[in-house]
Amino acid sequence: MAAPTKTEAKAGHTFRRFKDGDSKWRRWNDQIFTADETDKCPTYVHKTPPCQASCPSGEDIRGWLNIVRGIEKPAKGTAMQEYAFHRLTNANPFPSVMGRVCPAPCQTGCNRNSVEDFVGINSVEQYIGDTALKNKYAFKAAEQTTGKKVAIVGGGPAGLSAAYQLRRKGHGVTIFEKYPELGGMMRYGIPGYRMPRDVLDGEISRIVAMGVEVKTNTRIGVDIKLEDLEKQFDAIVFAIGAQSGRALPVPGADAPNCITGVAFLEAFNQGRLRFVSNRVVVIGGGDTSIDVVSVARRLGYVKETAESERPEFVVLGHTAHDVSRTAAKQGADVMLISRQPVEKMNAAKHEIDDAIREGVKIQGALQPIEVIKDAKGRAKALRVAELDYSKGKPEVKPGSERDLEADLIVSAIGQGGDLKGMEAFDNGKGLINADKFYQVPNKPKYFVCGDIVRPHLLTTVIGQGSIAADSIDHFLKGQEQEKRPKVDVHHFNLLDKLRETNLEPKKFEITEAGGPRPIDQGLRGTSEQGKAVGGYAIHNYEDRAASEVCQSSELFLGHFANTPRNLRTEKVPSAEEVLGHFEERVMGLDDAQAVNEAKRCMSCGLCFECDNCVIFCPQTAVKRTPKSETTMGRYVYTDYDLCIGCHICADVCPTGYIKMGMGDH
């Protein structure tokens, strides 16, 4: 079926409360209707949009999209791009990085998928991040320091996120990093053609410039004992990542040319690995395995090589490739196999499609059985069997075993941490336990975040760093940990916005009986309090963002015309072009494209000033807030002297912001 045109409404996106033939109330609370009136009047309810609820970093995505599109106005004297940058980086200090490499669970959750296609959140995030680097936008540490010092063990995304948030709270921070440079898996795990190093360096240096002390080439537990660290610092954060790859758990996997994906990518990103073997078989299905096969196709192989030049020796750190040997490279035969069917692999679909375009062979539903060795003890093939998923659980198909010839076998099936010198914190799985506040159980002053808790996405560990920083702040202040909200993200705060625009409500105080009171008629309503003469409350605004997510069923989808995404230009090489192709693949949006893409956001759960409620109200009860009092989230109000409870304003609200609340009119 063809997609609807821009002027057509998609089936199901128009609104009718009742259909022909309906004779019964669907819900008991619908029975409050009497003709065209009810005892319910509109209230303005702020909820979390599903994009943000799906973002492990908890970014205020709706907020910075509304800034880019021009709905939310920047503070006076601040450019839109800078204002959006600071809103975004309240949660995540790596917009350029994440705009390029995040698999974007936010886009999967986007309510726009119910109209035609998700909002290109990643592309606008990259635009904001790249603009910030170009214009040298900076972060600021807190003006007042607390005198407290925090040691962060590990300078990857989780550790840097925690350092950033702690400096904003005024605490001193020292990062201890075992590698020569900061970045962790962002630097040593992600290839440069996906994550340009100038971009990564720019975003890291912005955090360091906040006053973060950095000690590289320093391994805690080896170069410095934990006991000594504990004496010098008020709190310690483990953010060491999971940079030890998991070996293939089959017979024969101890062959020297069976290596892990983590070690493979580290050797490549350090510049030591410059070519691979002729036939490469990778076992995985996630993002790491896709990076391995894509790198292998770009590197190619050299036909005549000395024993010491074999890729496995380079990966294990015994030697390094000579750049002069790379001139004779040819395209390698690279295959990726997964226990899951291809369509259910964990890697992002567009990454899988790109790898296939680049000449990678991908086969799903294959179970590794054994590594077959030659007379010298090196792997010459991987024996696999086909899996049958027809009964739900995978079962090996009898007689389906076959050998895949291989000169190099790479296992990308999982990761663990290297806890040498920190064995007391090992939970038995090569990881460290954490409670919901990212505090190490029964270990006062110790906190943990990132892949060492559970290997996951970059955006996940960045979010953990932020929560850990909150918990450390409470600990250093001697405060009990507060209950985390049900929807645990960085919420838009209307009160903060009102303060920024000098519209903060007056302080509400109740004096002794008989004395003066702000509201003589009582304390229940907000209609009078919200008016300029009172100014003690925000008129019938309710914030449920910490507990509720705005679903597509709450929106009036018929408001939104079919509008295609503004796509980024991608330079994905073909199988013939991939050898030696290390240019960046994703080109960012320009100003106009970014604004137009941001305009596709439906601002779920918060008013975006469409005027539908004002236009369609038959009683003129819904009015625009005077310009001198208006700001984001405070655009309309209801005059309850005129409202008859007809529900039309709620029915035509595209964002689900208007609800029919309790109370007589």
Which of 448, 476, 504 lies at the terminal end of a domain, its last residue? Answer: 476
Examine the domain organization and report whether 172 and 222 are in the same domain: yes
Using a 10 angstrom Cβ sphere, with 0-12 exposed, 13-18 middle and 19 or more buried, the burial of residue 645 is buried
SS3 579: coil
Whether the predicted pLDDT of 663 surpasses 60: no
- Mode of pairing for the β-strands spanning 41-46 and 658-661: antiparallel
Examine the domain organization and report whether 250 and 239 are in the same domain: no
Taking only the tens place, the pLDDT of each residue in 379-438 is 999 999 999 999 889 999 999 999 999 999 999 999 999 999 999 999 999 999 999 999
Whether the predicted pLDDT of 18 surpasses 80: no
Examine the domain organization and report whether 456 and 532 are in the same domain: no
Please name the helix (run of DSSP H) or strand (run of DSSP E) that holds residue 284, with its range, or none.
Answer: strand 279-284
Number of domains present in the structure of the chain: 3
- CA torsion, points 67, 350, 101, 199, in degrees to nearest 10? -90
pLDDT of residue 573: 95
Residues 320 and 313: their CA atoms lie apart, in Å, by 8
| 512: in domain | yes
Mean pLDDT of 562-570: 95
pLDDT of residue 664: 45
Examine the domain organization and report whether 405 and 256 are in the same domain: yes
pLDDT of residue 546: 96
Examine the domain organization and report whether 429 and 471 are in the same domain: yes
Mean pLDDT of the chain: 90
| 563: in domain | no
> Among residues 16, 12, 10, 9, which one has the least CA distance to residue 651?
16
Examine the domain organization and report whether 524 and 629 are in the same domain: yes
> Among residues 97, 159, 123, which one has the least CA distance to residue 466?
159
Examine the domain organization and report whether 506 and 630 are in the same domain: yes
Which residue type, as a one-letter code, is found at position 466? S
- Return the beta strands (E) in 27-178 as ranges: 41-46, 149-153, 172-176
Examine the domain organization and report whether 381 and 443 are in the same domain: no
Taking only the tens place, the pLDDT of each residue in 103-142 is 999 999 999 999 999 999 999 999 999 999 999 999 999 9
Which of 414, 436, 456 lies at the terminal end of a domain, its last residue? Answer: 414
Mean pLDDT of 153-170: 98
| 360: in domain | yes
> Higher confidence at residue 660 or residue 96?
96
pLDDT band, residue 552 (cuts 50/70/90): very high
pLDDT of residue 522: 46
Distances (CA, A) of 566 to 118, 217, 563: 11, 43, 9
Mean pLDDT lowest among 172-186, 417-431, 506-520: 506-520
Beta carbons within 10 angstroms of residue 571's beta carbon: 12
> Both tokens of residue 443?
């270990």
Sole residue written with tokens 């003006």: 143
| 375: in domain | yes
Domain with 619, as residue range(s), is: 1-14+29-47+493-544+606-665
Whether the predicted pLDDT of 77 surpasses 80: yes
Examine the domain organization and report whether 156 and 270 are in the same domain: no
pLDDT band, residue 665 (cuts 50/70/90): very low
| 378: in domain | yes
Examine the domain organization and report whether 386 and 359 are in the same domain: yes
Beta carbons within 10 angstroms of residue 422's beta carbon: 19
CATH number for the domain spanning 444: value is 3.50.50.60
> Among residues 552, 550, 557, which one has the least CA distance to residue 15?
557
pLDDT band, residue 512 (cuts 50/70/90): low
pLDDT band, residue 322 (cuts 50/70/90): confident
Examine the domain organization and report whether 222 and 370 are in the same domain: no
Beta carbons within 10 angstroms of residue 386's beta carbon: 18
Which of 414, 438, 463 lies at the terminal end of a domain, its last residue? Answer: 414
Number of H helices, E strands in the chain: 19, 23
- Return the beta strands (E) in 553-631 as ranges: 569-570, 586-587, 622-624
pLDDT band, residue 533 (cuts 50/70/90): very low
| 405: in domain | yes
Sole residue written with tokens 């504990």: 230
Residue 300's contacts (CB-CB under 8 Å, 6 or more residues apart) are: 275, 276, 329, 330, 331, 332, 579, 580
Residues 415 and 434: their CA atoms lie apart, in Å, by 18
pLDDT band, residue 31 (cuts 50/70/90): low
| 6: in domain | yes
Q: How large is the C-alpha radius of gyration of the chain?
A: 29
State the DSSP string of 247-267.
PP-STTTTSTTEEEHHHHHHH
Examine the domain organization and report whether 438 and 398 are in the same domain: no
| 55: in domain | no
Mean pLDDT of 81-86: 98
pLDDT of residue 203: 98
pLDDT band, residue 307 (cuts 50/70/90): confident
Please name the helix (run of DSSP H) or strand (run of DSSP E) that holds residue 658, with its range, or none.
Answer: strand 658-661
Mean pLDDT of 93-112: 96
Whether the predicted pLDDT of 448 surpasses 80: yes
